[in-house]
Amino acid sequence: MDMTKTKVLLALPSDVLDRARVLAGRATIELRLPVSLQIVLRVLIEEGLKQSNSPKLLANFERQATAVRDIRRAARERARVELTAAPARRPPFRREVPRRGNASATARVQRTNRHA
């Protein structure tokens, strides 16, 4: 198998990943060879690309692209609602804390004045 490797980050729903793991387990038992999740995903992609003219494949693309678009649209809407509903924020109250060197010097002066 000639490979030029490229790394890809793939976000999958956990149920799809679980099904692929089950498939890897079945293949491992059947073939008596270790079949990794990576191998299963690679084969599924290759087999899917061979069927690139399939109407079922195109329907699946449409379903997934629509789902992603709907999720992003809902997230934008939530963000817009949160921005308009949130009251204007005031900066947090900050109490002045005397510097370490000045505070101890002030305390020494006050102590010496009490004794005088």
Q: Tell me how far apart the 2 most distant CA atoms of the chain are, in Å.
A: 99
Distance CA 43, CA 1 (A): 12
Residue 22 has pLDDT above 60, yes or no: yes
Query: What does pTM read for this prediction?
Result: 0.57
Q: What is the pLDDT of residue 113?
A: 56
Q: What is the pLDDT of residue 114?
A: 58
How far is CA 83 from each of CA 72, 87, 88, 90, 92, rounded to the nearest angstrom? 17, 8, 9, 15, 19
Residue 105 has pLDDT above 60, yes or no: no
Residue 17, exposed/middle/buried by CB under 10 A (0-12, 13-18, 19+)?
middle
Residues written for the chain: 116
Question: pLDDT tens digits for 47-73?
Answer: 999 988 889 988 998 999 999 999 999
Q: Model confidence at 81, in pLDDT bands (50, 70, 90)?
A: confident
Distance CA 24, CA 30 (A): 10
What is the percentage of the chain residues whose pLDDT exceeds 90?
Answer: 50
Q: Model confidence at 26, in pLDDT bands (50, 70, 90)?
A: very high
Q: What is the pLDDT of residue 69?
A: 96
Residue 14 has pLDDT above 60, yes or no: yes
